[in-house]
Amino acid sequence: MGILSFIIFTPLAGALLVLILSSAQSKYFKIIALVATILQMIFGIMLFSDFKYGTQLLKTPDGTETVAYGINNPDTFQFVEKGDWISINLGNYGILDIDYYLAVDGLSITMILLSALVFFVSVIASWKIEKNLKGYFALFLLLDMAVVGVFCALDFFLFFMFWEIMLLPMYFLIGIWGGPRREYASIKFFLYTLVGSVFMLLVMVGLYFSVIDPALTAIQAGLVQPGADINAMKAAVLEVQKLLAEGKLSPAVQVHSFNMLHMMNTSNLVPGSIFAVGGEIFGYSARLIAFMALFLGFAIKVPMVPFHTWLPDAHVEAPTPISVILAGVLLKLGGYGMMRICYGIFPEGGVYFCYFIGLMGLISMVYGAFVCLAQTDLKKLIAYSSVSHMGYVLLGMASLETVGMNAAMFQMFNHGTISAMLFLLVGVIYDRTHDRQIPNYRGLATHMPQYTAMVMIAFFASLGLPGFSGFVSEAFTFVGAFNSTYIPKWMAMVGTITILLTAAYYLWTLQRMFFGEVWFKGGDHWRHELSEINRRELTALIPLAAVTVFLGIFPSACLDLMSTSIGYMTQATIENGHKLLEQVSQMAVK
């Protein structure tokens, strides 16, 4: 059992311990959750300290040294844990093979660190939860396990399993512990996410029938013995791929696989299968349709306009800790899935649909910002700001520029820390007055100066002020968009309007709520209840603020982790994407 398994299943162990204890021992539930997330943080720091990045070399199984970029080469992933999980002989349909396959590269390391940090601060924010503590913390820790599992899994079936497990805890955490309209919000969240999961499931099944594991197939076909040396295995793999391309490999010996890395290699595609190069559905490229189906499934989670409408309802009704997780981590699953699966397995889709992706990102950026200007509910304002800021991720990905793709990943990390901080800050005043309406507060800067200082840090970081991490990712997004040959420059130019709009709605909120004479709708009762931010709240906020400021001054601390992998992924997407599109065009002409 490796370090990735410990990171994933430590929260599950905590959840099981919570379920074993009786409700009379509820005082221990919070402590168990806190210990589980602290251990996860420690494992994450250990992962970070041993992670090789940049020019650091990684020794491969055959003894050579290579750059640890990951993406589509199993030899360049780190902390690999792989074992047989499910194997079923399906007769003429070949052999079904599902692996327990975990590994990390520059695409996932930052997301694992982000998840560990956000779940840690969310436990602290959960300290005031009083209703059904056993159920709450069991579901909370189960959600933690599922989220981190998604970022570690390299087997599509395992990825999908973690993705689906994540859906149920969030549904109940909103539906039971949420606000007055919690049932509506939780059902809406569930249905939207489930639609995306259906798209993902259909493509996953099609990929299973279209892809083989060449090494296991070589063993099944008798071309090599189990445990053979690496050179013999490589030769057998090449022979299997040659026989497969020539149509001489019997279906009975084909070992079909959910391994994502095998799916990224077109040499492992079964000729004539639905997702083979040139495969069609209703006269259209099946691979392009699959890209769009997966993209839309992940776009719901991002969320991209017009699939965003579940987000404001979920945020407004969710309790503060769950809003923190929702904005800090769950939205990032969509962007991560696009890069890992859409661009990795169907690179031609990334090239073909770049204009559409850029346009939808731009619409999300501008639309979300304009809607923020109309909000009177502080939590809903921050929810729509998430729609706007996640649009930067789509624009950066659409650029197909290394700097733009790096900016997209960095923006996901930055938005995770900043939005988590913003929702925690909303929770501070909501816990005291049970009111989030902006017009109901005046002069908070005089009444709660420490709280105001934390709000200003979060607001300025979110609007992209230099010196904060948000500035770097947003600036690099526009650099990538301006330099891109795949999307027009007017997208970057129009996108800069978002900077002005973001400054407008944050500064206007500061003016209305924090400046001027002290006045509260609740009068003296609110004046008494609105006590200064306490130690527990500061304990949750300070790590997020520190990360935001640190990465604003030293962004390379995060960018260096991902840059090698992102650079290779960008290059592979462009080269393989153009190559596959050209092959499809040639086959169409014939």
The per-residue pLDDT for range 28-65, each reduced to its tens digit, is 899 999 999 999 999 999 999 999 988 788 877 777 88
Q: Residue 25 has which token pair?
A: 């021992």
Is residue 228 scored above 90 in pLDDT? no
585 band by pLDDT with thresholds 50, 70 and 90: confident
50 CB burial (10 A radius; 0-12, 13-18, 19+): exposed
Type of residue at 411 = Q
What contacts 495, CB < 8 A, 6 or more positions away?
A: 362, 365, 366, 392, 395, 477, 478, 481
Return the H-helix or E-strand segment holding 548. Answer: helix 535-553
Q: Which residue would you say has higher pLDDT here, 66 or 534?
A: 534
The predicted pLDDT at position 49 comes to: 92
443 band by pLDDT with thresholds 50, 70 and 90: very high
- What distance in Å separates the CA atoms of residue 41 and residue 112, rounded to the nearest whole number? 9
- Residue 329's closest CA among 136, 128, 140, 71? 140
The predicted pLDDT at position 64 comes to: 81
Is residue 2 scored above 60 in pLDDT? yes
Mean pLDDT over residues 96-106, rounded? 91
| Range scoring the smallest mean pLDDT among 79-88, 360-369, 419-428, 533-542 | 79-88
Neighbours of 5 (CB within 10 A): 16
* Distance in Å from the first CA to the final CA of the chain: 52
Q: List 78's β-bridge partners, or say none.
A: 104
CA distances from 141 to 16, 78, 339 (A): 9, 25, 26
428 band by pLDDT with thresholds 50, 70 and 90: very high
227 band by pLDDT with thresholds 50, 70 and 90: confident
Is residue 588 scored above 70 in pLDDT? no
- What distance in Å separates the CA atoms of residue 280 and residue 289, rounded to the nearest whole number? 9
CA distances from 360 to 52, 278, 391, 464 (A): 35, 27, 8, 21
The predicted pLDDT at position 441 comes to: 93
| Range scoring the smallest mean pLDDT among 80-94, 174-188, 331-345 | 80-94
The predicted pLDDT at position 299 comes to: 95
Is residue 586 scored above 80 in pLDDT? no
Q: Which residue would you say has higher pLDDT here, 589 or 65?
A: 65
Is residue 21 scored above 80 in pLDDT? yes
The predicted pLDDT at position 589 comes to: 53
278 band by pLDDT with thresholds 50, 70 and 90: confident
Mean pLDDT over residues 65-86, rounded? 89
- What distance in Å separates the CA atoms of residue 450 and residue 472, rounded to the nearest whole number? 26
590 band by pLDDT with thresholds 50, 70 and 90: low
140: helix, coil or strand? helix
Cβ–Cβ under 8 Å, residues 18 and 126? no
Return the H-helix or E-strand segment holding 257. Answer: strand 255-257
Q: Please state whether beta strands 255-257 and 95-104 pair in parallel, antiparallel, or not at all (unpaired).
A: parallel
Is residue 166 scored above 60 in pLDDT? yes
235 CB burial (10 A radius; 0-12, 13-18, 19+): middle
547 band by pLDDT with thresholds 50, 70 and 90: very high
Mean pLDDT over residues 59-84, rounded? 86
The predicted pLDDT at position 587 comes to: 65
Q: Residue 437 has which token pair?
A: 């309406």
Beta strands in 147-243 (DSSP E): none
Is residue 93 scored above 80 in pLDDT? no
198 band by pLDDT with thresholds 50, 70 and 90: very high
284-306 pLDDT tens trace: 889 999 999 999 999 999 989 99
CA distances from 303 to 333, 384, 390, 427, 498 (A): 10, 10, 7, 22, 17
Q: List 437's β-bridge partners, or say none.
A: 377
Q: What percent of the chain has pLDDT over 70?
A: 99
27 band by pLDDT with thresholds 50, 70 and 90: confident
Q: Which residue would you say has higher pLDDT here, 247 or 507?
A: 507
| Range scoring the smallest mean pLDDT among 13-17, 96-100, 167-171 | 96-100
Mean pLDDT over residues 270-292, rounded? 89
- What distance in Å separates the CA atoms of residue 332 and residue 393, rounded to the nearest whole number? 10
504-530 pLDDT tens trace: 999 999 999 999 899 999 888 899 989
Mean pLDDT over residues 475-487, rounded? 94
- What distance in Å separates the CA atoms of residue 208 and residue 205, rounded to the nearest whole number? 5
The predicted pLDDT at position 249 comes to: 86
Runs of H (alpha helix) within 286-337: 286-301, 310-317, 320-325, 331-337
3-state SS track over 97-134:
EEEEEEEECCCCHHHHHHHHHHHHHHHHHHHHCCCCHH
544 band by pLDDT with thresholds 50, 70 and 90: very high
The predicted pLDDT at position 109 comes to: 95
Mean pLDDT over residues 313-328, rounded? 92
> How many CA atoms lie within 13 Å of 250's alpha carbon, on the beta-carbon side?
10
- Mean pLDDT (the chain, rounded): 91
Is residue 542 scored above 90 in pLDDT? yes
The predicted pLDDT at position 143 comes to: 96
